Amino acid sequence: MKKVYRYEPWFFLFFGIFHLHRIWGLVDRASYAAFWINVMESKGLFYFALMGILAVFCVLGIVTFFRNRHNNYWWRWIYLCGGSYLLFDLFAIATGMEFWRKLILNMYDITAWYWNILWSAFIVMGALVFLLGVWLLYPAGSNHSPQG
């Protein structure tokens, strides 16, 4: 039997908000890029707290996907695909993979022609993920409600 666990809406709400904060990048490129490059380079308490929360959510999502592999909702593929990507991203940043560091620095190039396209795509994704979290929290007549 399919069921939605109580933490699942919060997973999507958290990741939605995390991606929506990138509106700041459209408003003020320089301070946004400087902040995140500093976080990535300095690897201080904020970095480890944020990366720890993201990693725990990803692992929890991937475990949920596999525990329910015969009774999954379509949106649980986000756990597998997005979670695996993010865990790789966190690993690549933490270990200092040079090609990944260059890629990220290119993402934060405030003079790049693709800046608005890139960060707008993340914002749209964040809005959709956030709305999915709201829908899971308040299923509005659907056949599921958060359990366990």
CB 6 within 8 A of CB 145: no
Residue-wise pLDDT for 99-146, tens only, equals 999 999 999 999 999 999 999 999 999 999 999 999 998 865 455 555
pLDDT higher at 143 or 98 = 98
Q: Given this model, what pLDDT does residue 141 score? A: 45
* 24-80 pLDDT tens trace: 999 999 999 999 999 988 888 998 898 899 899 999 999 999 999 888 899 999 999
Average pLDDT (8-16) is 92
